[in-house]
Structure 1
Amino acid sequence: MTAPTVDVHAHVLLPEVEALVAGLPGLAEARALDARRNGPASLAVSGPMVAERVPKLTDVAVRLAAMDARGVDVQLVSPSPSHYHYWADEETAERLYRLAGEATAAHCAQAPDRLHGLGLVPLQHPRLAVRALEHALEQGLSGVEISSHAPGRELSDPAYEPFWARAAATGAILFLHPFGCTLDERLDQWYLSNVVGQPTENAVALSHLIFSGVLDRHPDLRIIAAHGGGYLPTHIGRSDHAWSARSDAGAGCAHPPSSYLRRLYFDSLVHDPHGLRELIRVAGPDRVLLGSDFPFDMGTEDPVGALRAARLPDADFHAVRGGNAAALLRKD
């Protein structure tokens, strides 16, 4: 039996979440930072782009029709990263992750054979992380979505150790999807905030997980890195060299950094068939999953066609197209 075609990088917009934070202290400051990071020209394009995609982001019937047109059987649906709101205080953050998990679960429940969902974790409050993960799993979700960092905390922060341990023990899927790059105004033209910022944040976050030994301590973690892991997989040789050449670089992890790529999962969204082939070479054909960033403009309208353009062996093509993700979702 042929495995279904599974897209692991697809988003849902949750108006309930935005209603929850509307008018709260901190929101205006967070939006001002986002505006500085993106720049006025990018904001002028992004607003209408998102507005015209609201039906695909909120209406299950429209979503399913779009999936059919793309040849996608199943989506792993994560909240729009704009819903992270890592500025929120602890009380608001708890209400937010509960609302996001319940709303995402309700969205997916309208087509349970085709939609699997992810919740959110307030990384700015590490002591809530385990509770947020467990709440998501209680809703029948497959795991949670996290960003590349929280204000003042990298993913290597020891405060997250209970979260990593619980995620490994439960087999939850963790979808690592950045939102906002700390290079700030250096990237405020030509949409560099996303074009360069997202793959940079992916590379930094994964490097923290690798070099700090998180993946040594929690080898059963099931992390999917969006955007093909950003710049890291194609430059992992530099990480290996540092690990072997410098005592400070090699102090935190037990093995060469490149070996950890085969403990992670990556979506296929690299926008280049040669880059995709290289990702599959370094991570393994069993560690790459189809991803489209549905329905945003920085995604692909034809994820299967983009995969086909890499001219992979048939077994690898079908593994990435859906076999790997189907196996991952069956473990939930």
Structure 2
Amino acid sequence: MTTPTIDVHAHVLLPEIEALVAGLPGHAEARELDARRNGHAALAVSGPMVRERVPKMTDASVRIAAMDTQGVDVQLVSPSPSHYHYWADEDTGEKIYRLANEATAAHCSAAPDRLHGLGLVPLQHPDLMVRALDHALDQGLIGVEISSHAPGRELSDPAYEPFWSRAEGTGAIVFLHPFGCTLDERLDQWYLSNTVGQPAENAVALSHLIFSGVLDRHPGLKLVAAHGGGYLPTHIGRSDHAWSARPDAGAGCAHLPSSYLKRIYFDSLVHDPRVLGSLIEVAGADRVLLGSDFPFDMGSEDPVGALRAVRLAEPDFDAVRGANAAALLRLA
């Protein structure tokens, strides 16, 4: 295989950020909200799970060894979404993105032929986002990671227009990875906050970008949606029907919602070969990228095997395995 196998959904843990925010006004309240939304049973499992995986997320040599076991040649590394801290004020938000961008770049520099990185932007402070994106690119990163929303702001908010313009103009990758869910305590049992909440947040965020016309105004935006875009791609027919049947649904975007799926990139992490096959069918084999959510327990330890289970034609398999990402990341 001449095309490298590329995993676009892998995380780095940055203890420096947690040390920075510890004890700041708003931090305790944010942790309490997170606990309510996830439930104590989930937190009791997640703590030991993360601690067990710290070496894979902080030590580049341990990461590379794990990649070799998986048969992954290149990872696109993004900060753990737990580092977003969208509760933070402007001064703290600026410190967070600078620290995240610099620390992620340093981690990737240990193996520059195998690790490429994404930084962070303070989604809660739109006025800082262009500067934060530029800072990430200045560190040698190739884009940034964002959540599905910030407090009081959806991704359709006009305040984000300068950021979308800058991301489109620079060719930066924007990786949409939700953290948390606004359904709150309804999902605080059985880890529903993740299993249901994450796909729901993906679907809501992408729908805001489609129906508001963001993707019409920025057709060159390199947007990558984690978790296969959540529930949206497999239920896009309902969006198409609403766009056709209701003037309030169809006023913001120029085309059928399903047509925008071919302007978005999706990772392959859907945990079901039938769903992955449907995603590839509706979005196109050229719009799906290998993703594992390395190294969390809700990820895939064998992303290539999961892709192989779909039984794609060899050209499509190779496209998803790495060719699409190689072109997107502009790898030689």
Query: With structure 1 as the length reference, what TM-score do the two structures score?
Result: 0.99
- Residue matched to 1:16: 16
Tell me the distance in 2 between the aligned counterparts of 1:331 and 1:120: 22
- Residue matched to 2:301: 301
- Residue matched to 1:163: 163
Tell me the distance in 2 between the aligned counterparts of 1:176 and 1:199: 12
Tell me the distance in 2 between the aligned counterparts of 1:249 and 1:185: 29
- Residue matched to 2:199: 199
Tell me the distance in 2 between the aligned counterparts of 1:107 and 1:312: 34
From the superposition, tell whether residues 121 and 254 of structure 1 become closer, same or farther in structure 2 (CA, over 3 Å): same
Tell me the distance in 2 between the aligned counterparts of 1:17 and 1:33: 19
Tell me the distance in 2 between the aligned counterparts of 1:220 and 1:139: 23
Tell me the distance in 1 between the aligned counterparts of 2:306 and 2:37: 30
- Residue matched to 1:29: 29
Tell me the distance in 1 between the aligned counterparts of 2:313 and 2:199: 27
For residues 23-102 of structure 1, the aligned pairs below 5 Å read 23-102=23-102
The list of structure 1 runs, each at least 4 consecutive aligned residues, that deviate by more than 6 angstroms after superposition, is: none
Q: What residue identity is the alignment partner of 1:147?
A: S
Tell me the distance in 1 between the aligned counterparts of 2:283 and 2:135: 31
Tell me the distance in 1 between the aligned counterparts of 2:131 and 2:281: 37
Query: With structure 2 as the length reference, what TM-score do the two structures score?
Result: 0.99
Q: Structure 2 unaligned segments of length 5 or more: list them.
A: none
Q: Does 1:228 align with 2:228?
A: yes
Identical counterparts, % of pairs: 83
Q: What residue identity is the alignment partner of 2:302?
A: D
Tell me the distance in 1 between the aligned counterparts of 2:132 and 2:331: 20
Q: Does 1:185 align with 2:194?
A: no
Tell me the distance in 2 between the aligned counterparts of 1:76 and 1:297: 18
- Could you give the per-residue CA deviations for residues 117-150 of structure 1, whole angstroms, max 9, x where no partner exists? 0000100000001000000000000100000000
- Residue matched to 2:212: 212
TM-aligned CA deviation for residue 331 of structure 1: 7.1
- Could you give the per-residue CA deviations for residues 82-133 of structure 1, whole angstroms, max 9, x where no partner exists? 0000000000000110000000000000000000000001000000010000
Tell me the distance in 2 between the aligned counterparts of 1:15 and 1:45: 20
User: Retained in 2: the 8 A contact 1:74–1:114?
Assistant: yes
TM-aligned CA deviation for residue 287 of structure 1: 0.2
- Residue matched to 2:150: 150
User: Retained in 2: the 8 A contact 1:171–1:331?
Assistant: no
Q: What residue identity is the alignment partner of 2:204?
A: V
Tell me the distance in 2 between the aligned counterparts of 1:125 and 1:37: 23
Q: SS where residue 75 of structure 1 aligns? A: strand
TM-aligned CA deviation for residue 2 of structure 1: 1.6
Q: Structure 1 unaligned segments of length 5 or more: list them.
A: none
Tell me the distance in 1 between the aligned counterparts of 2:100 and 2:261: 30
Tell me the distance in 2 between the aligned counterparts of 1:247 and 1:328: 36
Q: What residue identity is the alignment partner of 1:87?
A: W
